[in-house]
Amino acid sequence: MSNHKKILLSLPSLFKWLRIACLLLLFWFVAGFLFTSFGSYFVLTDTYTNTFQSLQSSRLYKGQQLNGQFQASENNLGIVGLRVLPGNNAHSEQDDHLLFQIKEKGTTKWHYQNTYKGGFFRGYTYYPFGFPIISNSKGKIYQFRLTSLGGNKLNAITVVEKNPEMNASYQFSKSDLLHGRENILHFANKKLKDYFTDQQKQTVASIFFLPFIVFVLWTLFVKYSLLQRRFFLIVVVFIIFYQLILFSTMIYAVIFSSLLLWMIAVYRNKLASDFTFVLCFIIFFVGQFFIFFKNNSGELESSFLIYFLLVIGICQMIWEMGKQPKDLLTAKDVFENYKKKRLKKNKI
C-alpha cells in the first residue's frame, strides 16, 4: 500500500481523535470557568499595582497602618482584596484585630469601616474586604486603610508587598448587561481575561484539564508506546522531581499528570510495588529539605505526592498478592543485578 493511501486511511481516526480532544478542552474551559465563578457569575475583578502609599513595615504591629489608594475601573465597587497573611499564632482567641476603612478621595467621612480578626486571613491569596456597593464608582479614586489594633510579635499579620498588591471586585446586574451589546462584550472580554490570567483560578480549574491530559498520555504512551520503555521511565522520574523542585505553585493538573505518567511507566516496565515505595522514600527525603528551608509549597507538594504514591503502591501490593505475577521487575532484582555487575568489574 502506498504512503498516500495509508495517510488517507488514517485521516478518519485522526479527525476522530481531534474531535475528542476538542471536546475535552471545551469541557475544561466550561467546567473550570463555571466552577471558579460559582456565586460570582456577574462579578468582575481587576488587579492593581503600586497602590500602597504608606507602610511602616511588612508586619503590622499595634497602631501601625497600611494606607493605599486606587482608581476604580467599573461601577458597583463592592470588594477590595488585599494580600495579607495571618500571624504565627495558632490560637484564634489571641488573634490581632484589624480595622479596615474605605472612602472616596477628598471626602472626610469613611464610606465603610469594620473590624476583622487576623486569623480570618488564613487560606486567601487576596482577603476580600466587602462593603456596601458604590454604584457610581467608575473613574473615582478610593483610599483604604488597614490598622492593627493589637498586633504583637506572635499575632501580627504580614502585608505581602508583591505586585499585584490588591484587587477590586465590581458587581454587575442583569439589567446592566442587557443595556446593550457593548456592555455584554465588555463584560465577557474582562471576565475571560480574569479567568485566564488569575493564577489561583487556573490552579483550581486545572483539575478539569485532567481528562484531556489522560486522553493524550494514553494515546501517546499506551496505545502507540511512544519512547522506549526504560527511557520513558527515566523521563517520568525526571518530570516528577523537576516539577517538585522547580515549580513554586502546586498545580493539581501537573501533579496528577505526573502520577498518571508513573502508573503508565509501572505498566509498561512491569515494575513491582517496591519501586513505588522507593520513589515515596526518595520524595520524603527531598521533603525534609523543604521543611528545613521553610519551603511551604514544596513541603505541601511532596506530602501530596507521597500520599497518592502510597495509595498506588498499596493497590499494586494488593494486586500482586492476589495475582502473584512472576514477570514483575522488583527493586531487589535491580539492586542484585547491579551488585553482580560490580563484582564482575572488580574481578576483571
Q: What is the pLDDT of residue 183?
A: 76
Choose between 22 and 58: higher pLDDT: 22
Q: What is the pLDDT of residue 11?
A: 63
Q: What is the pLDDT of residue 8?
A: 43
In which band, very low, low, confident or very high, does the pLDDT at 243 lie, cut at 50, 70 and 90?
A: confident
Global pTM value: 0.68
Choose between 346 and 216: higher pLDDT: 216
Gap between the Cα atoms of 239 and 216, Å rounded: 16
pLDDT at 289 over 70: yes
Q: What is the pLDDT of residue 133?
A: 93
Assess contact for 51 and 70: CB atoms under 8 A: yes
Q: What is the pLDDT of residue 3?
A: 46
Segment 93-136, tens digit of pLDDT = 678 999 999 999 999 999 999 999 988 888 788 899 999 999 89
Q: What is the pLDDT of residue 326?
A: 82
State the average pLDDT over residues 223-244: 87
Q: What is the pLDDT of residue 5?
A: 47
Which three cell numbers mark 123?
A: 487560606
State the average pLDDT over residues 341-347: 69
Q: Among residues of the chain, what percentage have pLDDT more than 70?
A: 92
In which band, very low, low, confident or very high, does the pLDDT at 89 lie, cut at 50, 70 and 90?
A: low
Which of 146, 144, 159 is closest to 87 using CA atoms?
159
State the average pLDDT over residues 316-341: 84
Q: What is the pLDDT of residue 23?
A: 95
Q: What is the pLDDT of residue 90?
A: 53
User: Which of 5-14, 56-65, 326-335: highest mean pLDDT?
Assistant: 56-65
Which three cell numbers mark 120?
A: 480570618
pLDDT at 42 over 90: no
Q: What is the pLDDT of residue 77?
A: 95
The answer for residues whose C-beta is within 8 angstroms of residue 214's C-beta and 6 or more apart is 260
Q: What is the pLDDT of residue 92?
A: 65
Residue spans of the domains in the chain: they are: 43-171, 227-347
Segment 199-224, tens digit of pLDDT = 778 888 888 998 998 888 888 888 87
Reduced 3-state DSSP string for the chain: CCHHHHHHHHHHHHHHHHHHHHHHHHHHHHHHHHHHCCCCCCEEEEEECCCEEEECCCECCCCCEEEEEEECCCCCEEEEEECEECCCCCCHHHCCEEEEEEEECCCCCCCEEEEEEHHHHCCCCCEEEEEEEECCCCCCEEEEEEEECCCCCCCCCEECCCCCCEEEEEECCHHHHCCCHHHHHHHHHHHHHHHHHCHHHHHHHHHHHHHHHHHHHHHHHHHCCCCCHHHHHHHHHHHHHHHHHHCCCCCHHHHHHHHHHHHHHHHHHCECHHHHHHHHHHHHHHHHHHHHCCCHHHHHHHHHHHHHHHHHHHHHHHHHHHHCCCCCECHHHHHHHHHHHHHHHHHC
Tell me the residue type at 108.
T
Gap between the Cα atoms of 209 and 252, Å rounded: 9
- Range 43-171 has CATH code 2.60.120.380: yes
The answer for residues whose C-beta is within 8 angstroms of residue 123's C-beta and 6 or more apart is none
Q: What is the pLDDT of residue 148?
A: 93
Assess contact for 78 and 138: CB atoms under 8 A: no
